[in-house]
Structure 1
Amino acid sequence: MKQKPEVSIIISTYNSVEWLKKTLWGYAYQDFKDFEIVIADDGSGVETKEAIAQLSPLFDRPIIHVWHEDIGFRKTIILNKAVEACSAEYILMSDGDCIPKANFVQVHLKHKEPGYFLSGGYFKLPMSISQAITQEDIKKQHCFDLKWLKAQGLKDSIKNKKLSAGTFESKLLNLVTPTKPTWNGHNASGWKQDILAVNGFDERMQYGGEDRELGERLFNKGLKSKQIRYSAVCVHLDHARGYVKEEMLVKNAAIRKETKLQRKTYTPFGIKKDS
């Protein structure tokens, strides 16, 4: 085994053990195996720690569990700690409620390029299907199969193209989609040196666009982005968002506005703190 993995995968989580297990099973069944997983844990209880220890043997490298005390929504802080813990030169970020398709990591690595970051999306599942998915369904990739999903009650939608598009069609859809290729925390990847150059996430920010703001500083730094939302597929498991507060959104919007107007490439509130 090489000393450094080809890619470090940061997965954020908070007290959502069953969803995290399903997410980790998704990575256990990846076509590409040379990666390390770094869990960015915003203060989960002991059940999460036990689940990580239980599932860690499924991987070639032990799962790295980066944790801090639960004193409110501090995702940006734990993500920065996770970035520092990554040993690979390339980082893929996703969430502990997003099950990756078997070629997910492979697609990110295929499209990585100096001077760019990659922007993916997700396919939202309703709660009933989220709960119904088993480890076997992930192993056999049922949860990415429209026929199986429809049998579980999935409704027809134009968004189903994310799952049904073949290689050629997904390339075309990536080109024509009106969705901008932003840094999306649930499905994005880039070079560790670029993330460090803009000083990671702004730790003043809580929920609401904190990932996009990082991407905006990368753009201001001169990076470009590639759209892979129809190529790098993950399904998003449903959950409540009790942590969302209006004041968080207002504060984050103000920080993002300042980043755009002043074309900021660096935050003094990131990984390195200005003394």
Structure 2
Amino acid sequence: MRISVIVITYNWPQALDAVLRGLARQRELPFEVIVTDDGSDEQTKQVLARHAQHFPVRLTHVWQPDDGARMSRARNRGIVAARGDYIVLLDGDMVPGEHFIADHHAFARRGCFVQGSRMLPDERATKRMLAHKRFRPHFFTRGLQRRRHALRLPWLARVWAFPRVNRRGIKSCNMGFWREDLIAINGFNEAMTGWGREDAELAVRAFNYGLMRCDLRFAGMATHLWHRSRKYEGRSINDDILDATVAHGLQRCEQGIDAHLGEFTQPPIDLRTDAAA
């Protein structure tokens, strides 16, 4: 099984640097890492160029112009660009633990998608992580919320990961899908822009398609770096789209992955090739 990690980023190069360092030190490496970029400036390119000099697996950069928050479009383009069989979705401020890929590999199963978990350091702990590259949070780290997710207990993880249908706690910052399943449901709904609900809407269509959800707890550890909340209060058009998907039992969205299927007939350039040149 070839695992493609799709990291979505936007103008936080320090966080992306930490994420790429985490992916480079995996006990089991992925097949490739695709950084899909919602319009970052040159600083992000500089981080990628630096990592490309010594990155252990294929590293690519899929960029789109900054035209507001278009996370669904960015993720879809990353999925189309991927050459792996299995997609792990990761936010550009989610620093993976060293067993992250191995655990996603172990818990991937046909007919299911995987919902991972996260630790939440406070602002002080996040600054420490970014300033000291060797520091890794653990169960006793001060300022850590959801510290139970710092415990890696594979035997308990297997008990927890029973297939089910449940929308609660769906977060695209740490998810795993078979690529063919994402293609079948047309990926993320690009009618949804701005903050929120695109991950829940994707999960609803996945359930309608017949997929089950497996929770990855006590494994697949990752740390979600602190940042100021980007949530908007009140309902938005995204809520209306989600409600319509639920009401009509939709499996596919109209604006999705199929708009990009012809874009990457040739895979994006491996940045390590440019670095070697």
Which TM-score applies when normalising by structure 2? 0.85
Are 1:31 and 2:27 an aligned pair? yes
Corresponding residue for 2:133? 135
Corresponding residue for 1:219? 207
Whether the 8 Å CA contact 1:118–1:181 is kept in 2: the answer is no
- What's the secondary structure of 2:213's corresponding residue? strand
Are 1:190 and 2:213 an aligned pair? no
Give unpaired runs (5+ residues) of structure 1: none
Question: Which of 44, 64, 68 pairs up with 1:68?
Answer: 64
Number of matched pairs: 257
- What's the secondary structure of 1:213's corresponding residue? helix
CA distance in 1 between partners of 2:117 and 2:248 (Å): 28
Question: Which of 239, 262, 265 pairs up with 2:248?
Answer: 262
- How far did residue 181 of structure 1 move? 6.8
Corresponding residue for 2:274? none
1:121-270 pair list within 5 angstroms: 121-133=117-129, 134-137=132-135, 142-143=136-137, 145-147=138-140, 149-150=141-142, 154=143, 159-164=146-151, 166-172=153-159, 183-206=170-193, 207-242=195-230, 244-246=231-233, 249-270=235-256
- How far did residue 169 of structure 1 move? 3.7
Corresponding residue for 2:263? none
- Report the CA distance shift for 1:226/1:18 in structure 2 as closer, same or farther (over 3 A): same
- How far did residue 211 of structure 1 move? 1.2
- How far did residue 62 of structure 1 move? 3.4
Question: Which of 12, 33, 41 pairs up with 2:37?
Answer: 41
Structure in which a larger fraction of residues adopt helix: 1
Whether the 8 Å CA contact 1:9–1:91 is kept in 2: the answer is yes
Corresponding residue for 1:51? 47
- How far did residue 121 of structure 1 move? 1.6
Which TM-score applies when normalising by structure 1? 0.86
1:106-121 pair list within 5 angstroms: 106-121=102-117
Equivalent residue letter for 1:146: F
Equivalent residue letter for 2:139: L
Percent identity between matched residues is 27
- Report the CA distance shift for 1:72/1:10 in structure 2 as closer, same or farther (over 3 A): same
CA distance in 2 between partners of 1:173 and 1:270 (Å): 32
- How far did residue 54 of structure 1 move? 0.5
Whether the 8 Å CA contact 1:202–1:267 is kept in 2: the answer is yes
Indicate the RMSD between aligned Cα atoms, in angstroms.
2.5
Give unpaired runs (5+ residues) of structure 2: 260-277
- How far did residue 168 of structure 1 move? 3.2
